[in-house]
């Protein structure tokens, strides 16, 4: 069965994390993605201390389902090859610094003139216009400038980055949505268009609904760690065996459920805890009381009690626990071979379609692996039947 984007031709001029993750998702859904690297290769190939046959773990994680070629865009030959590929492509994605594509002859206007149906997605750090357009942008820098770090951590810790590349990934997700939206518009009008997105704008957008809160109060949300400004309890508590468990009671009903699970029914009617307003007013006392109770039993015992009661909870699992979970092993992990030998595991696409399932058909390409296949053939580099 063919995937949903089978036959879609995607020219991927991106590097590092954001762009490659967006194009990888299109590839998972069946698009024929040609990854175009400069002769020195995507910097992610050499990023980090963990590699497999010379390719960095980060590169291997976001570049599956792509054919790979190397072009020197600083030469007339490389530019001509890029334009020839773009003339037949459905989508082009780039995350060069603003102005570079225009200088090498593959800017939006130049390519639109030869391929009016092209959907051209530009991803930048700070936007294509404005005083910061040429500043280098990495995930943690954008987290800092966008305000994400300002609300992450605790008052004691100060601002913290998230534990994963949040700004990279939220931008990639929005870019993929933008590309698919533009393709839907093209199906109606026959015309492509430019999709423009900055990491900064995407990261600020991700902070909804706190935008309305700030507008109405002019207050910056406090850094509260695992707690929530309007829900108590909403926190982690340590069990007798040193494990942590996340507990949330979104309303009085779930507070009562929690009290039953804890074997403390008297707290359901205690005036200090019985209502949401009371729990907010006595936040510290709630946390102290629950901390003392959870410290009396181990994690397994608490999970059994909380599950039986129907409480809202979740153990803070270690990575070995997550990646050895039977569901994860059976449904989310896939082993891919490296072209030079050896294997590595990747996380499968979580989207499940009943009629057009996602597929992982290609390992990440070696640098220039498909140059002869794509650039050396006579006729089109794009198979008429897709990837």
Separation between Cα atoms, residue 122 and residue 115, nearest integer Å: 16
Asked if 323 and 268 count as a contact pair (C-beta separation under 8 A), the reply is no
- Structure token pair of residue 181: 């939206």
Region of 127 please: left (phi>0), alpha (psi -120 to 50) or beta: left
| 254 dihedral zone (left: phi>0; alpha: psi -120 to 50; beta) | alpha
Answer whether the bond into residue 237 is a cis peptide, omega within 30°.
no
Catalytic residues: 168
Give the separation between CA 380 and CA 273, rounded to whole angstroms: 70
Residues 13 and 363 sit within 8 Å (Cβ to Cβ): no
Residue matched to tokens 């707690």: 227
DSSP-assigned states of every residue in 65-126? SEEEEE--TTSHHHHHHHHHHHHH-SEEEE-PPTTHHHHTT-SHHHHHHH-TT-EEEEEESS
Distance, in Å, from the CA atom of 10 to the CA atom of 33, rounded to the nearest integer, reads 5
Q: What are the two backbone dihedrals, phi and then psi, of residue 159, each rounded to the nearest 5 degrees?
A: -60, 140
Sheet with strand 313-315: strands edge to edge: 234-238, 244-248, 313-315
Q: Which residue in 209, 196, 187 sits closest to 95, CA to CA?
A: 196
Beta bridge partners of 122: 94, 196
DSSP code for 224: B
> Which residues, other chains included, contact 6 with Cβ-Cβ below 8 Å and sequence gap of 6+?
30, 31, 385, 386, 387
Q: Is 124 exposed, middle or buried (0-12, 13-18, 19+ CB in 10 A)?
A: buried
């Amino acid at each position: 069965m063919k995937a949903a984007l089978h036959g879609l031709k995607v020219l991927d001029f991106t590097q590092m994390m954001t762009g490659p993750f967006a194009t990888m998702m299109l590839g998972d859904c069946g698009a024929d993605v040609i990854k175009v690297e400069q002769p020195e290769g995507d910097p992610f190939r050499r990023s980090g201390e963990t590699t497999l046959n010379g390719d960095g773990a980060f590169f291997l994680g976001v570049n599956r389902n792509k054919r790979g070629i190397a072009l020197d865009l600083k030469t007339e030959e490389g530019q001509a090859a890029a334009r020839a590929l773009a003339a037949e492509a459905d989508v082009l994605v780039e995350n060069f610094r603003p102005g570079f594509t225009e200088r090498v002859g593959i800017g939006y206007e130049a390519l639109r003139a030869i391929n009016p149906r092209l959907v051209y997605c530009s991803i930048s750090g700070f936007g294509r216009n404005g005083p910061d357009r040429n500043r280098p942008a990495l995930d943690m820098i954008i987290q800092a400038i966008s305000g994400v770090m300002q609300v992450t951590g605790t008052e004691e810790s100060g601002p913290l980055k998230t534990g994963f590349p949040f700004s990279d990934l939220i931008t990639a997700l929005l870019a993929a949505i933008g590309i698919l939206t533009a393709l839907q518009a093209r199906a109606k009008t026959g015309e492509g268009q430019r999709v423009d997105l900055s990491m900064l704008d995407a990261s600020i957008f991700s902070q909804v609904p706190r935008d309305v809160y700030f507008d109405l109060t002019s207050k910056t949300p406090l850094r509260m760690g695992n707690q929530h400004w309007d829900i108590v309890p909403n926190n982690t508590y340590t069990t007798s065996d040193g494990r942590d468990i996340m507990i949330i009671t979104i309303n009085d009903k779930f507070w009562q459920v929690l009290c039953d699970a804890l074997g403390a029914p008297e707290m359901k009617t205690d005036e200090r805890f019985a209502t949401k307003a009371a729990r907010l007013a006595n936040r510290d006392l709630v946390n102290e009381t629950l901390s003392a109770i959870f410290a009396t039993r181990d994690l397994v015992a608490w999970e059994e009690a909380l599950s039986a009661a129907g409480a809202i909870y979740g153990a803070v699992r270690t990575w070995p626990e997550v990646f050895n979970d039977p569901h994860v092993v059976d449904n989310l992990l896939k082993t891919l071979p490296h072209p030079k030998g050896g294997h590595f595991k990747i996380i499968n696409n979580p989207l499940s379609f009943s009629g057009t399932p996602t597929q992982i058909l290609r390992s990440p390409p070696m640098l220039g692996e498909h140059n002869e296949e794509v650039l050396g053939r006579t006729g089109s580099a794009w198979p008429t039947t897709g990837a």
